[in-house]
Amino acid sequence: MSNVVSTAARPATSEMVRRLPEYLMIWVPLLLSAAHLISFSIWTIWISFTPSTLIPVSGWVGLRNYNAVLASRNWQIAFDNLLLFGIAFVLLSLITGLALAILLDQRIRGENVLRTIFLYPLAVSFVVTGTVWSWLLNPGIGIEKLIHDLGWSSFHFDWLVNRDMAIWTIVIAAIWQSSGFAMALFLAGLRSVDTDIIRAAQIDGAGPIRTYVRVILPTLWPITITVVVVQLQFAISAFDLVRALTNGGPGIATQLPALVVYDLMFQRSQLGRGAAAAVLMLLILLAVLLPYAAWRYVQRRQATHA
């Protein structure tokens, strides 16, 4: 009993010393990154309202930079591409991930190996993915060449250099990279479904398709929304993949907002406009993340009330 009392009464310094590693590990990096994030965001927002070009200068030009960016063909193409890429990529990676997860969920042999294979692209950096796919899709050295060499000389697959189709090569590479992520989340969701529910459906006489559509998949809603949000924010900020795969080309056919920012800031030395484009990207991101945060908030409230 006495030692319990003594530890409780001991001065708080030893407690501080004991918890010091925790504070150092958590708070220092957290504060540093928060400071970076917030201060540079504010800095960028400020720059976007100045006439800065090569170097940052003070001054106020109102929305001039924004008007210029929004009016530029470069940005318009980037925005259209983002819409197409974002929707196609998110939908297709959802479908691919879900299909892989359902197939893996059939208690097949070698599941661990397959799961690792499907998830592995996530471990590869976007630059590598972009570079590898740029070789694969290059008509001169990649798939088209392979098929030609196999003897089918009329085979045509030149999306990478085709203005209208080049954006789809980015979709393909992005799906290859990240549908494993969707699969992993969906598989976890499928595995967390109570097996008794599936047995109940079996006794109720539901076939496999009806069981999936009516009983199992509806429980995956929360996971689906998480996957969509994560993939969307990747799509919006996509840079390295596109830079390595098409670099916005051919011409500016696969331009995306992040490339526009890079182009304006570091190649055309128009800091103000680049910052304005970056702020526009931030707004698009918020348009996705804020509803998600609100949805999570409502979900949590409902959970605590139930």
Partner 1 sequence: MAALSIRALSKRYANLEVLKGIDLDIESGEFTVLVGPSGCGKSTLLNIVAGLDRASDGKIEIGGRVVNDVPPKDRDIAMVFQSYALYPSMTVRQNITFGMECRHVAKAEQEKALANVAKLLQIEPLLGRKPSQLSGGQRQRVAMGRALVRDPLLFLFDEPLSNLDAKLRVEMRMEIKRLHQRIGATIIYVTHDQIEAMTMATRIAVMHRGVVQQFADPDTVYRYPANLFVARFMGSPPMNTMPARLEADAGGPVAVIGAGRPDEVRLRLQDYDAAASYVGREVVLGIRPECIAEGDRVFSGATGAPVIVTAPVELVEPTGAETIVLLRLGGEPAQARISPEIRPTPGGTASFALDTRRICLFDPETERLIA
- Minimum Å gap between C-beta 210 and partner 1 is 7
- What burial class does residue 302 get, using C-beta atoms within 10 Å of its C-beta: 0-12 exposed, 13-18 middle, 19+ buried? exposed
Binding site for partner 1 (CB under 8 A): 194, 196-197, 199-207, 210, 214-215, 218-219, 221, 306
The answer for residues whose C-beta is within 8 angstroms of residue 305's C-beta and 6 or more apart is: none
CB of 306 to partner 1, least distance (A): 6
Q: Give 201 or 271: the residue with its C-beta nearer to partner 1.
A: 201
Smallest separation (angstroms) from partner 1 to the CB of 179: 24
250 φψ region: left (φ > 0), alpha (ψ -120 to 50), beta (else): beta
- Rounded Cα distance between 290 and 230, Å, is 13
As measured in angstroms, the least distance from the Cβ of 224 to partner 1 is 13
Yes or no: say if 237 and 258 are a contact pair by the CB < 8 Å rule: yes
| Closer Cβ to partner 1, 210 or 268, answer by number | 210
CB of 197 to partner 1, least distance (A): 5
Q: Of 165 and 206, which has the nearer Cβ to partner 1?
A: 206
3-state secondary structure of 78: helix
Contact 187, 96 (CB under 8 A): no
The number of beta carbons lying within 10 Å of the beta carbon of residue 139 is 17
Nearer to partner 1, 33 or 192 (CB): 192
For partner 1, give the closer residue by CB, 70 or 193. Answer: 193
**Residues sharing a CB contact under 8 Å with residue 202, sequence separation 6 or more, in sequence order:** 211
Q: How far is the CA of 72 from the CAs of 65, 78, 130, 168, 264, in angstroms?
A: 11, 10, 27, 23, 11
- In whole angstroms, the minimum distance from the beta carbon of 289 to partner 1 comes to 26
Nearer to partner 1, 156 or 199 (CB): 199
